Amino acid sequence: MVQCFSIVSVLILTVLAASMLVLPLILPPLPPPPLMILFFPVGIMAALMFLALSPSDAGANVPLVLSGFMVHSFVSSTFSAFEFWVSFRILQN
């Protein structure tokens, strides 16, 4: 039988779970944090939602292979070394 957890790690996890159950009953309640700290995770989530839903032009730099010839469609006039490497890797596959 494969043992995923050692006896020591199971004991540590059990003590941690018990302390999470008992300590809130013993310790006094804490005051609420400032409003700016409460809005910090909300701001991160809003930024992530904005980035997830905003359109990207990533498909514009993907090379098209037509019967052995590579045709690029450029949005900008620059073609970086990373974009060249990505297009080279796509053509190899």
pTM of the predicted model, to two decimals?
A: 0.37
Question: How crowded is the C-beta side of 81, counted as CA atoms within 13 Å?
Answer: 0
Q: Which tens digit of pLDDT belongs to each residue from 23-53? A: 999 999 889 889 889 899 999 999 999 989 8
Which contacts qualify for 73-79: CB closer than 8 Å, 24 or more apart? Answer: none
Residue with tokens 């990505």: 86
Q: Are 87 and 61 in contact (CB under 8 A)?
A: yes
Q: Which two tokens stand for residue 50?
A: 């904005």
Q: How large is the average pLDDT for residues 69-85?
A: 53
